[in-house]
Amino acid sequence: MDKFTFYNPTKIIFGIDTIATLSEHLPIGANIMLLYGGGSIKRNGIYEQVKKSLANFTHVEFAGVEPNPRYETLMKAVELGRAENVNFILAVGGGSVLDAAKFIAIAIPYQNGDPWEILVKRLGSTITAAVPIGTVLTLPATGSEMNANSVISRESTREKLAFSSLACFPVFSILDPRVVSSLPQRQIANGIVDAFTHVMEQYLTYPADAPLQDRFAESILQTLIEVGPKVYANPNDLTAAGNFMWCTTMALNGLIGKGVPNDWATHNIGHELTALFGIDHARTLAIIAPNLYRVLFAFKKEKLAQYATRVWNITEGSNEERAQAAISRTVEFFHSLGIQTKLSDYTSDYAGTAEEIVSRFTRRNWLKLGENGNVTIERVKEIVEMSY
Ligand code: NZQ
Ligand code: ZN
């Protein structure tokens, strides 16, 4: 295991009916921006619960954060936040609303020009000023509720870029499994596949003498395989929903990726498919991940074989055969959740996608992705073409 520093200051308030405790966690005297998405919280009653907790707090609302939140929309929230001297952001929603809150939080105090530059120039680690954030998570998937990452899209350039800043960890996040009951099946499936892939990005690399990290990762994968289909079949199963929720948070709160090699090339490529075609984030991962494992097979086969045995109980065959079988089982798992794994299942307009992604990566100097820097642009092209 490599050296590491682990820091995660987010307070988690987990459990059924914990949304009712929201006012206890808000800073007294705060001037709050309540941030939310397209209105699901108004239909499922979460908005009312939140408003009750906000009764004694000064607050303004900013609604309409879209899935894959857009810079253009968020800059309007930044203007509002500055005009109203907002000093706390309460994000109520899924990964998109939470990521939006992080961007708004660093953009409000930013004085060095256009905050989009923070994403383009990868300045996240230099940012220290941010408006503090609290969250009520309504969609278990991204882990945004307990990490410092944010992914923002820019409509004018059809780009989707990420940043990470320690200043963006939420101060607190409320994880109430009741929110799962109103989720459409499509979003539950997305959440399972997104969290699953987050674990794979931090686990499916090469052996690194980190057995505890491996077993953390494997236990999250096994739990997702066990409870994910239960939640998918019945979102009112509160026990399964709670366990699913905790898996998605643990999958990307920084813990399992410490001291071990990380990949993230599936995400790098997947984000382009959302930017180009508007495909749901998790579905882009389901399209790319299996082909990335195939193209990088020679480098990943040891971990793939371990994954086969420990996660899927595949015990027959050579290392290579088990590794191949594990890729097939992963694809079957995605299909069982109604998630298609080819780009052509989502768009007929895919010709030239590989070239476009390669040209974008070349422009950004993203020439060596993955845990070994061996996801070269040639391999990116091969992976994307295999995914058509
Ligand atoms: O906008 P509303 O009306 O709230 O509806 C949302 C949205 O349409 C709906 N929804 C959320 N909670 C609901 C609900 N509907 C019914 N009942 C509820 N309880 O679900 C739709 C999708 O929401 P969204 O927030 O977009 O989904 P998700 O949580 O999957 O977030 C995806 C975004 O997160 C980024 C992705 O790139 C994408 O932009 N990611 C963020 C990461 C991070 N911060 O660490 C890591 C991830 O890899 C990912 O890249
Ligand atoms: Zn993801």
Q: Which residue has its alpha carbon closest to ligand 1 atom 16?
A: 183
Alpha carbon of 108 to ligand 1 centroid (Å)? 23
CA separation for the pair 56, 54 (Å, rounded): 6
In this prediction the pTM is 0.98
- State pLDDT tens for residues 185-241: 999 999 999 999 999 999 999 999 999 999 999 999 999 999 999 999 999 999 999
> Structure tokens of 370?
């993955």
Going by C-beta distance under 8 Å and a sequence separation of 6 or more, which residues neighbour residue 25? 11, 13, 134, 171, 172, 174
Identify the band that residue 56 occupies on the pLDDT scale cut at 50, 70 and 90: very high
Identify the band that residue 2 occupies on the pLDDT scale cut at 50, 70 and 90: very high
Mean pLDDT of 284-291: 98
Going by C-beta distance under 8 Å and a sequence separation of 6 or more, which residues neighbour residue 75? 107, 115
The domain made up of 11-178 is a member of CATH 1.10.150.120? no
Q: Does the Cβ of 64 fall within 6 Å of ligand 1? A: no
Residue extent(s) of CATH 1.20.1090.10 domains in the chain? 185-386
Ligand 1, atom nearest to 41 Cα? 4
| pLDDT the model gives residue 288 | 98
Alpha carbon of 83 to ligand 2 centroid (Å)? 33
- State pLDDT tens for residues 310-362: 999 999 999 999 999 999 999 999 999 999 999 999 999 999 999 999 999 99
Alpha carbon of 86 to ligand 1 centroid (Å)? 24
With residue 183 as reference, give the H or E element that holds it.
none
| pLDDT the model gives residue 337 | 98
Q: What angle do CA 69, 74, 80 make, to 5 degrees?
A: 150
The side-by-side arrangement of strands in the sheet containing 11-14 is 11-14, 172-175, 133-137, 88-93, 31-36, 58-62
| pLDDT the model gives residue 258 | 98
Ligand 1, atom nearest to 44 Cα? 17
What DSSP character marks residue 296?
T
CA separation for the pair 72, 50 (Å, rounded): 26
Alpha carbon of 45 to ligand 2 centroid (Å)? 27
Q: Does the Cβ of 133 fall within 6 Å of ligand 1? A: no
Q: Which residue has its alpha carbon closest to ligand 1 atom 46?
A: 142
- Phi, psi angle pair for 190, to nearest 5°: -60, -45
Identify the band that residue 136 occupies on the pLDDT scale cut at 50, 70 and 90: very high
Residue from 104, 187, 253, 280 to probe ligand 1 pocket by mutation (most atoms less than 8 Å from CB):
187
Q: Which residues surround ligand 2, an ion (CB under 5 A)?
A: 194
| pLDDT the model gives residue 276 | 96
Nearest ligand to the C-alpha atom of residue 280: 1
Ligand 1, atom nearest to 150 Cα? 44
Alpha carbon of 185 to ligand 1 centroid (Å)? 13
State percent of the chain over pLDDT 70.
100
Residue extent(s) of CATH 3.40.50.1970 domains in the chain? 11-178
Mean pLDDT of 78-105: 98
Helical segments of 296-352, H only: 297-312, 319-336
| pLDDT the model gives residue 7 | 97
CA distances from residue 299 to 199, 221, 305, 338 in whole angstroms, order as listed: 18, 21, 12, 30
Question: Can you name the residues that pair with 259 across neighbouring β-strands?
Answer: none
> Structure tokens of 86?
């907002």
Pick the CATH number of 185-386 from 3.40.50.300, 3.40.630.10, 1.20.1090.10, 2.60.40.60: 1.20.1090.10
CA separation for the pair 364, 372 (Å, rounded): 19
Mean confidence (pLDDT) of the chain: 98
Mean pLDDT of 89-108: 98
| pLDDT the model gives residue 164 | 97
Q: Is 375 helix (H, G, I), strand (E, B) or coil?
A: strand
Q: Does the Cβ of 67 fall within 6 Å of ligand 1? A: yes
| pLDDT the model gives residue 111 | 95
Going by C-beta distance under 8 Å and a sequence separation of 6 or more, which residues neighbour residue 29? none
Ligand 1, atom nearest to 190 Cα? 30
